[in-house]
Chains A and B, each alone.
Chain A
Amino acid sequence: MNQLEGRSSTADLLEQAINGKRRAQGQLLTLIERGGFAADEVTELLHHYTQSRAHNSTLAGARCHAAVVGFTGAPGCGKSTLVGCLVAKITQEAGVGRSPAVLAVDPSSPLTGGAILGDRIRMEENVPAARSDGTDRTANAAVGGGAFIRSMATRGHAGGLALAVPAALRLFEACGYGPLIVETAGVGQVEVDVTRTADTTVVIVAPGMGDAVQANKSGLLEVADVLVVNKSDRPGAEDARRDLEHMLDLGHMTGLTGQWRPKVIMTTATEGTGADQVINAVQAHREHLEHAGQLEARREARIHQEVRDRVSQCLETAAEYHLGTKPDPLAAALKERITPAAAAAAISQHLLASDMPA
């Protein structure tokens, strides 16, 4: 087990996590969420672990990646309820023994930084009991079975979320979970970006409220691989479906793959109706990606985005720090001796010319 040499408490935690200790998995997610040194240490150790596991594997080179499925849509459209149904179905699938992991992102209050994270309760609600050994409705698959649910607040700091999500997914994968599910409210750009980089992105709309049109305007439909009209028990569901099909006809949705036309699926998550079709559509999309050789492209897009996010964060931090030292061009701009643009150009030039480690 030399992949975990140079032991620290983080390495111990990682070993426990990989051996299935949920407590340790939860603690590592906290480190990842906090960002900074501790988070980077986790990702680095994880990387060494997965590298050496792939190396030792008899199927060297054939490293299997867990499927990453993103669920997004306006707050209240039923994402968590639907994810709860899907998780229960996947967990109950006879003999397959798959353990999904869910990362459920909810917004922090911009005023206090606090948050009420209500995805977990929705996921555990309305799920048919997995076992018949109790009357208590929480004795369902999502709790008692192999699934792992982690709620994450945006913490008013979009850049942090963009870095934490891929790191958390890698931890889940190393611990043997799959498929990996990410729920985000389709509001902020970062949240949309987070789901965009999934292998398959499911966009959910609810009838009424002009959800379908809104989803189109906000760019959500462009990233959809599967479309769901949830709350199909409500009036207007059929209209929403027609709206979506129209927008598909008009080619408003291009997607990464071009030739893929998203299916529109009607669901009533509170009753579990349509959940099977969603699972089938996600599966069909994944097969399409495989046949089209696009799975690798998606994986690369994900890494590309992560590197870009990290570069942006580094540059931003460097800029903040440098500006804090009140450099001459800033002082000149403050006195209106040069334009802000000229000051920015001089400062950027200085930053980029500095001896950055390669």
Chain B
Amino acid sequence: MLSPMYLAATSNKPLSDSSHQPASHQESASHQASVQSQNQPPIRVVLAKLGLDGHDRGLKVVARMLRDASMEVIYLGLRQTTESVIAAVEQEDADVIGLSMHNAGHLALAPRILQALRDAGLDVPVVIGGIVPESDIATLTEMGISAVLHPGSSAVEVAEAVRGSLGEQPVGK
């Protein structure tokens, strides 16, 4: 009882070795996870607005929605560049990028950020929020944007777009 637990808490064995551990070890490891009630680390989202314009009211609302959906939001705010977003994604090891663009620059800015991600070797999904004409949505998703959210999107829609960009099912399904 104590020994396997003790090992579980202190072992320095590489992860790949865990498949060779005795069954009791596996059990205690999963028990440990439930003790820590941390089955799944939170999704980390870098949230930014590209371009020089605007206010950040909408972006702040989205930040709160994602926090309330148990995610960690690295809030970059206004006037970000593709470089500053990429730097943050690398250092913060973000799972998803949330970008707001309000001055109809999405068709120019989206390919730029996608190219910058490819150049940096980053495979991180991008969700866009803003006023995007219906006709542009297909163009954006074809170029590799994971989802496009309208300003009126609900908290559930926002959270599900982020989870969906990671290939996760909606909560409770």
Residues of B within 8 A of A109 (CB): 67-68
Verify if A19 is at the interface (C-beta below 8 Å from B): no
Residues of B90-131 contacting chain A, CB below 8 A: 90-93, 120-122
A24 to B1, CA, bound (A): 37
Q: Is the CB of B92 within 8 A of A136?
A: no
Query: Which residues of B have CB within 8 Å of A149?
Result: 91
Q: Is the CB of B72 within 8 A of A37?
A: no
Residues of B within 8 A of A114 (CB): 42, 66-73
* Interface flag for A289 (CB, 8 Å): no
Question: How many whole Å from A337's CB to the nearest CB in chain B?
Answer: 22
A40: chain B residues within 8 A (beta carbon): 10-12
Q: Considering the chains assembled together, what is the distance between the CA atoms of A324 and B1 in angstroms? A: 10
Q: Which of B75-83, B135-143, B165-173 contacts A (4 or more CB under 8 A)?
A: B75-83
User: Please, which residues of chain A bring their CB within 8 A of the CB of B14?
Assistant: 6, 8, 10, 37, 41
- Which residues of B sit under 8 angstroms from A157, Cβ to Cβ? 36, 38
Min CB–CB distance A319 → chain B (angstroms): 9
Contacts of B8 in A (CB 8 A): 317
| A27 and B93 contacting across the interface, CB-CB below 8 Å | yes
Binds B, one of A66-74, A179-187, A258-266, A348-356: A348-356
The answer to whether B63 and A116 have CB atoms under 8 Å apart is yes
Question: What is the distance, in angstroms, from B57's C-beta to the closest C-beta of chain A?
Answer: 15
Residues in A137-181 with C-beta less than 8 Å from chain B? 137-139, 143-144, 148-151, 153, 155, 157, 160
Count: A-B pairs, CB below 8 Å: 162
Q: Is A118 close to B, CB under 8 A?
A: yes
- Contact digits for A39-80, partner B, Cβ 8 Å, 1 yes 0 no: 011011000000000000000000000000000000000000
Closest-by-CB residue of B relative to A327 is B1
Cβ contact of B87, chosen from A34, A116, A143, A351, cutoff 8 A: A143
A112 in contact with B90 (CB, 8 Å): no
Question: Beyond A23-B90, A26-B92, is A321–B15 a contact (Cβ under 8 Å)?
Answer: no
Given contacts A10-B14, A120-B88, A124-B84, contact A112 B70 (CB under 8 A): yes
Q: Give the size category of B's interface with A.
A: 35 or more
Residues of chain B within 8 A of A10, CB atoms compared: 14-15
Interface residues of B in 13-37 (CB under 8 A from A): 13-16, 18, 28-29, 31-33, 35-36
A284 at the interface (CB under 8 A from B): no
- List of B residues within 8 angstroms of A314 by Cβ: 6, 9-10
CB closest residue in chain A, given B31: A321
In the complex, are the beta carbons of A143 and B72 less than 8 A apart?
A: no
Also in contact, A115 and B67, with CB within 8 A (given A23-B120, A34-B41):
yes
A6 to chain B, nearest CB (A): 7
Interface size on A, residues (CB 8 A): 62
B-facing mask of A320-353, CB < 8 A → 1, else 0?
1110110000000000000000000000000100
A219 contacts the other chain (CB 8 A): no
Indicate whether A23 sits within 8 Å of B74 (C-beta atoms), given known contacts A37-B13, A114-B42, A317-B5.
no
Name A107-124 residues within 8 Å CB distance of B: 108-109, 111-118, 120-121, 124
Instruction: Pick the residue among A29, A33, A37 that contacts B15 (CB under 8 A).
Output: A37
Task: Check if B12 sits within 8 Å of A26, measured CB to CB.
Answer: no
Residue of B nearest to A6 (CB): B14
Tell me whether A150 and B5 are in contact (CB under 8 A).
Answer: no
* Bound-state Cα–Cα, A355 to B79, Å: 59
Known: A25-B91, A155-B38. A318 touches B9 (CB 8 A): yes
Given the interface pairs A25-B91, A26-B92, A321-B1, the reply to whether A117 lies near B6 with Cβ below 8 Å is: no
Does A138 lie within 8 Å of B81, measured CB to CB? Answer: yes
Query: B7 an interface residue at 8 Å Cβ cutoff?
Result: yes
Bound state CA distance, A114 and B159, in angstroms?
Answer: 12
CA distance A148 to B88 in the complex (A): 9
Report if A38 contacts B (CB, 8 A).
yes
30 contacts between A and B (CB under 8 A): A8-B14, A8-B15, A8-B16, A22-B87, A25-B91, A26-B91, A27-B93, A29-B93, A30-B93, A37-B14, A38-B15, A41-B12, A41-B15, A114-B72, A115-B72, A115-B73, A116-B63, A117-B75, A118-B75, A120-B92, A136-B79, A143-B88, A144-B87, A151-B72, A151-B74, A153-B72, A313-B9, A321-B1, A321-B35, A354-B1
Chain A to chain B: the 8 pairs with minimum beta-carbon distance, closest first? A114-B67, A26-B93, A354-B2, A138-B84, A44-B12, A321-B5, A22-B90, A30-B93
A binding-site residues for B, Cβ under 8 Å: 6, 8, 10, 22-23, 25-27, 29-30, 33-38, 40-41, 43-44, 108-109, 111-118, 120-121, 124, 136-139, 143-144, 148-151, 153, 155, 157, 160, 310, 313-314, 317-318, 320-322, 324-325, 351, 354-357
Add 9 more A-B contacts to A41-B13, A112-B69, A138-B80 (CB < 8 A): A6-B14, A40-B10, A112-B70, A114-B68, A117-B74, A118-B75, A151-B72, A314-B10, A321-B32
